[in-house]
Amino acid sequence: MSDDVWILGIYMTKFGKYPDRDTVDLAAEAVLAALKDGGVSMKDMGVLAAGCLMDAPGIAQRIQKQIGQTGIPAYNVSNACATGATALKTAIMTVKSGEADFGLAVGVEKLAGAGLLGGAGKSGKAGASWEPQGRFGEVMETEGRIGTSGMPGTFAQIGMEYLHTYGATDFDVFAKISEKNHFHSTLNPLAAYTKAMSLDQIKNDIMIAYPNTRPMCSANCDGAAAAVVVSDAKLKTLSLEQQRRAIKVSASVLTTDPYEEACQVLPNVNTLTRNAAKIAYERAGIGPEDLDLVELHDCFATAELVHYDNLMLCEEGGAVDFFESGATWRTGKTPVNVSGGLQSKGHPIAATGIANIWEICHHLRGEAGPRQIEGAKVGLAHVIGLGSACGIHVLERSGL
């Protein structure tokens, strides 16, 4: 008997600002719509995994009070920006193990007006000398002394390090990546921002952490996304239309940082992503050349560039040339962030992992409207959270 797992139903709310709705309201909308999309109901579900960072205590149980309290196990998930992907993996693992025929995952966040999260590190104690404290008397604040753990600074360093390592000097490449994503967003009615921006507009906006200006940073907003997964055996008992629209989860991978001396101080978003990609391609039985589209975690324009390399979409060190070739535009050979990416679709943290998968699923189903990648059969969704966590899902179209 096959242990394959399929995405049966999926939904994301329009990302944006919802001052009159709370996290439970947004999550309930996403869940009920995902159930409807899959042609099933809450009574069919065998497990619920719910993710939220900013309003986390008992979010799964609180959501159940609106969508139906059926007594099933509920998992509350928190895993930085990989929270949504982790919630989905939790449901997938439960179904794959045989404990349930159907599983439900949801991620939700309210971040509109929150400002640039991670924009500054902890202030810590002032002083020029080291004062031992904490665990074994060896813990001290490192922010501003030997680097940064703040997201804007970290990803700025990562992008500049890549250019330095591989000899590129054109810093404009990062602004061009942002230009691409903002253009793509004009075709996505669910994106928080759907306005194209010129290269000059992007470059001349407020500088956040060189070389990332404000439009090159992910947009904090409100939103939710949910997915229903089903076992292969159960799917075969459902209607032909449900089977046709189901999307196969060919790989579901979650990694953390392996031990490296340097990453004990400065985060490394590269190694765990490359490790996750290798595992995902092996499990799915494909290579990066087989991907028809990619939704990757462009929390900053610099992040998108390095992840071209980490996901092996290009040869090592070749990310700049890969982008400049036009490959990642929606008309290119490997479209990346056709949704507009986090920079314009938005980034309600816990929802992002499932929202990226929503985008892939709609292309594989042929339901993406004017931004449809024609003939798409295989897609990859990627998220990464500092702390560290990387989630990758490889998805394939049904053969029906």
In the predicted model, is pLDDT for residue 175 greater than 80?
yes
Q: Does the pLDDT value for residue 79 go beyond 80?
A: yes
30, 168: one domain? no
Confidence of residue 174 (pLDDT cuts 50, 70, 90): very high
So what's the pLDDT on residue 132?
63
What does pLDDT average to over the chain? 92
Judge whether 142 lies within some domain.
no
For 339-378, b where at least 16 C-beta lie within 10 A, e where not — what string?
bbbbbbbbbbbbbbbbbbbbbbbbbbbeebeebbbeebbb
Q: Could you tell me if 321 and 348 lie in one domain?
A: yes
Give the pLDDT of residue 169: 72
Q: Please state, in angstroms and rounded to a whole number, the distance separating the CA atoms of residues 67 and 58.
A: 15
In the block, which residue shows the tokens 């055996």? 233
Same domain, 308 and 350: yes
CATH assignment of the domain containing 371: 3.40.47.10
Displacement of CA 226 from its chain's centroid (Å)? 13
Same domain, 164 and 258: yes
| Predicted pLDDT at 144 | 60
- Given a cut of 90, whether residue 39 has pLDDT beyond it is yes
| pLDDT score of 131 | 66
Find the mean pLDDT for residues 15-22: 96
* String of DSSP letters for 215-268: GGB----EEEEEEEEEEHHHHTTS-HHHHHH-EEEEEEEEE-PPP-SGGGTS--
pLDDT of residue 207: 94
Q: Is there a single domain that holds both residue 303 and residue 176?
A: yes
Question: For residue 69, how many other CB atoms are within 10 A of its CB?
Answer: 12
Can you tell me the mean pLDDT for 47-69? 95
Is position 131 within any domain?
no
CA distances to 268, 324, 325, 398 from 275, rounded to whole Å, are 12, 26, 26, 27
* Residue 146, in any domain of the structure: no
pLDDT score for 121: 40
* Domain membership flag for residue 137: no
Tell whether 207 and 98 lie within a shared domain.
Answer: no
| Residue 358 within a domain | yes
How far, CA to CA in Å, does 188 sit from each of 103, 194, 307, 372? Answer: 28, 7, 23, 10
Structure tokens at 364: 């594989």
pLDDT at residue 246 above 60?
A: yes
Residue 375 lies in a domain: yes
Q: Are 256 and 272 in contact (CB under 8 A)?
A: yes
- 126 located within any domain: no
Number of domains in the chain: 2
pLDDT of residue 133: 67
Cis peptide before 252 (omega within 30 of 0): no
Average pLDDT over residues 258-285: 89
161 vs 168: CA distance, rounded Å: 10
Residue 10 phi, psi (nearest 5) = -155, 150
Does the structure show a pLDDT above 80 at 161? yes
**Which three-class secondary structure state does DSSP give residue 277?**
helix
- pLDDT, residue 363, reads 98
Query: Containing domain of residue 76, as a range?
Result: 5-115+221-248
Taking the CA atoms of 26, 31, 34 and 35 in sequence, report the sign of the dihedral they define.
negative
Q: Are 97 and 111 in contact (CB under 8 A)?
A: no
> 190 and 327: one domain?
yes
Residue ending a domain, choose from 248, 267, 292: 248
Structure confidence by residue, pLDDT tens digits, 322-376: 999 999 999 999 999 999 999 999 999 999 999 999 999 999 999 999 999 999 9
- Say whether pLDDT at 248 is over 80: yes
User: Which of 6-10, 155-159, 230-234, 354-358 has the lowest average pLDDT?
Assistant: 155-159
Residue 148 has pLDDT above 90, yes or no: no
Residue where one domain finishes, among candidates 229, 248, 267:
248
Same domain membership, residue 167 and residue 63: no
Which pLDDT does position 122 carry in this prediction?
Answer: 43
C-alpha of 170 from chain center: 27
Shared domain check, 292 and 261: yes
Give 105-134 pLDDT, tens digit per residue.
999 999 998 765 554 444 444 456 656 666
The answer on 85 and 37 residing in a single domain is yes
Q: Which residues pair with 5 in a beta bridge?
A: 231
Tell whether 193 and 268 lie within a shared domain.
yes
Q: Residue 1's pLDDT is what?
A: 60
| Per-residue confidence (pLDDT) for residue 136, from 0 to 100 | 55
- Residue range 38-42: mean pLDDT, rounded: 98
| 125 domain-assigned | no
Residue 265's pLDDT band (cuts 50, 70, 90): low
Q: Which residue has the higher pLDDT, 170 or 338?
A: 338
Spell 146-168 as b/e; 16+ CB within 10 A means b: ebbbbbbbbbbbbbbebbeeeeb
Q: Is-above-0.75 flag for pTM?
A: yes
Pairing of strands 247-255, 389-397: antiparallel
CA distance 190 to 340: 10
Query: What pLDDT is stored for residue 260 in this prediction?
Result: 84
- pLDDT score recorded for residue 139: 58
Whether residues 173 and 313 fall in one domain? yes
